[in-house]
Structure 1
């Protein structure tokens, strides 16, 4: 299964490009599912369209949680909430999107196209499964479930109530669901497509988004330069806008390996015929782009170190911070932060330094002599 995640700066036409991408693949005979929270500009004949309804998802999840935790809520004397009085809280949109991705991927369409929110929110959403699973493992370690039969005894000894079984069961269910959507996000067949109208603000936003994708190990397959004005126009005012677009389009071509141009229709797209005209680039049927690889290089014979190389295009030294905590690395790059487990070989090493060279962060690690014994 291929998955194409469509995002970009706000107002750049993400939903239209996502719809055009899905329709183009369906016209080539691919079984396509499109996820979107918005109204589409066409019927998308041949595409299975699923609308992401954050409010409905929030109500269903909260009511289900009330049912599972019913005994605890009754013990506390809690007054249960009715569906009619529930309105979604901040964050409901992200969880509804992730749930929709998991459910759609389980049906294994040939192509899954996901209409994501603007890039900053999209990156935060895509990072959620990994982050939340880490929190669950720390707060409710799975290995402690083995002691559930001893909980009544432990509660008496400690003088405080032990976590109820339903809490562990809920955490386990959440972990399974998060793992399923994380698998889709990290799958080699998943790529991100950035949509933007060429211009100074879009150029900066795309650079930030590209850096965020690299930090989270996501593959960028193309930048879609959307709503391009005609290259030739007799109108001097319009000619100025065209010149600005072309200038930034040339910069995009220099910075990104694949830039797909989509012409402005001169009107808002309406219907499948218009969407067919907007089908960007060669579509998603070819091999997916590869995500930036984080690799460990053995230099034990030369410098007596191991080097962990992290491609971070667009990163600058002033925005970098590294902290090792146990077997994890806390990585801060500009506005992005990620906590990642160290490769197994580096857990037996000490970090001796790091440097940023041509968009690649190299972390130097010296083997701990006590853990890397060498023959005499």
Structure 2
């Protein structure tokens, strides 16, 4: 599951790498000052590289539009078992890190409730216990939950997929505050507290899952196996990090103006 969710971050990561390696500003400077590379002593990238980068950006644009759309939601498939509810909790936090909303969960490979085999019956009982834990976790997220039966083998063709007969998710109300609109918000508290706050909702995350570090004009945020590198807003680039806190499923990073970079007030 973690690898699949991390794949949702690849378009944004690739776009970031392109912008760092071949920023559009450098191409404009090259066009305006063709002798700049010779004067500085650093060879400019050939025009063909910029053309390739523009083609890549164009190809990425459609994928990024889908991934970033407020209408895009995520459906997860989870097998009820030990640790499944905790995996779902961490997946929810990872989705929130990238601004995605969890729509539904499908409990996969469900065993029949009644079986003449005592071993299978006991296994089904344990699975139902884990299924109840998943239902409780889904209730916290506002996501619906459905189920798919165990066929006794890996599905091989479309006929097997038809046999699965995946049940539609049980309806669940949306959790307030969770959506795809960019969750990062900057709050100006300079007048009262002398700081600016950068907030990110991370429902389900624990302090042990979280790590963050400032790297020049970027903030690197790790949530378990997930990582997102965010460029700082212009105002925060002229600040130093004063600290961070995690309360009620929200990460809050405090920034204080750097006297050497912040304009003086008159």
Give the TM bin, normalised by the shorter chain: 0.7 to 0.9
Counterpart for residue 26 of structure 2: 144
Deviations 1:311-357 (A, max 9, x none): 22343324433222343212122222211022455345432111122
Deviations 1:182-234 (A, max 9, x none): 12101101111110121115334433322322222221111111232333445
Alpha-carbon distance change, 212 to 156 in structure 1, aligned in 2, over 3 angstroms: same
Counterpart for residue 245 of structure 2: 355
CA–CA separation in structure 2 for the residues paired with 1:165 and 1:374: 44
Relative contact order, higher structure (CA 8 A, sep 6+)? 1
Give runs of aligned pairs for residues 293-332 of structure 1, distance below 5 A. Answer: 293-300=183-190, 303-332=193-222
CA RMSD of aligned residues (A): 3.3
Describe the SS at the equivalent of 1:193. Answer: strand
Counterpart for residue 120 of structure 2: 238
Describe the SS at the equivalent of 2:8. Answer: helix
Give runs of aligned pairs for residues 75-224 of structure 1, distance below 5 A. Answer: 119-146=1-28, 147-148=30-31, 150-151=33-34, 153-154=35-36, 162-224=44-106
Task: Determine which of 249, 254, 258 is the counterpart of 2:143.
Answer: 258
Alpha-carbon distance change, 343 to 158 in structure 1, aligned in 2, over 3 angstroms: closer
Deviations 1:151-172 (A, max 9, x none): 4x45655677532211110011
Counterpart for residue 290 of structure 1: 179
Asked whether 1:333 is paired with 2:215, we answer: no
Aligned residues: 252
Deviations 1:70-127 (A, max 9, x none): xxxxxxxxxxxxxxxxxxxxxxxxxxxxxxxxxxxxxxxxxxxxxxxxx233233221
Alpha-carbon distance change, 333 to 262 in structure 1, aligned in 2, over 3 angstroms: closer
CA–CA separation in structure 2 for the residues paired with 1:159 and 1:307: 42
2:135 touches 2:145 (CA, 8 Å); kept in 1? no
Alpha-carbon distance change, 265 to 126 in structure 1, aligned in 2, over 3 angstroms: closer
Query: Structure 2 length as normaliser, TM-score?
Result: 0.78
CA–CA separation in structure 1 for the residues paired with 2:56 and 2:233: 26
2:74 touches 2:102 (CA, 8 Å); kept in 1? yes
Alpha-carbon distance change, 295 to 301 in structure 1, aligned in 2, over 3 angstroms: same
1:218 touches 1:291 (CA, 8 Å); kept in 2? yes
1:145 touches 1:168 (CA, 8 Å); kept in 2? yes
Structure 2 unmatched runs, 5+: none
Alpha-carbon distance change, 262 to 371 in structure 1, aligned in 2, over 3 angstroms: same
Describe the SS at the equivalent of 2:7. Answer: helix
CA–CA separation in structure 1 for the residues paired with 2:137 and 2:147: 18
Alpha-carbon distance change, 262 to 324 in structure 1, aligned in 2, over 3 angstroms: same
